[in-house]
Amino acid sequence: MNNKKMLDFQTIAVDFDGTLCYSKWPELGQPNQALIEYLQEWKRNGNKLILWTCRAGEALSNAVE
């Protein structure tokens, strides 16, 4: 496998509560729009994004909607 090709992108894990949105647990806080826009552009450039959260069930479904 070509190692250079494997390194052509970066991966970042981003926490949901307190990072992608302002903390208001257990409800959804307001989105951190500046960070979201930055990460959308970063992902469009071929990078990978992992959503990190401890939410589960309905709270998780609402968060990723």
Q: What is the CATH number of domain 3-64?
A: 3.40.50.1000
The pLDDT, as a whole number, for residue 37 is 98
Domain ranges in the chain are 3-64
The pLDDT, as a whole number, for residue 4 is 55
The pLDDT, as a whole number, for residue 5 is 62
The pLDDT, as a whole number, for residue 8 is 84
Secondary structure (H, E, C), the chain: CCHHHHCCCCEEEEECECCCECCCCCCCCCECHHHHHHHHHHHHCCCEEEEECCCCHHHHHHHHC
The pLDDT, as a whole number, for residue 31 is 95
* 22-64 residue pLDDT tens: 988 888 899 999 999 999 999 999 999 999 999 999 988 888 8
Token pair belonging to 48: 């990978």
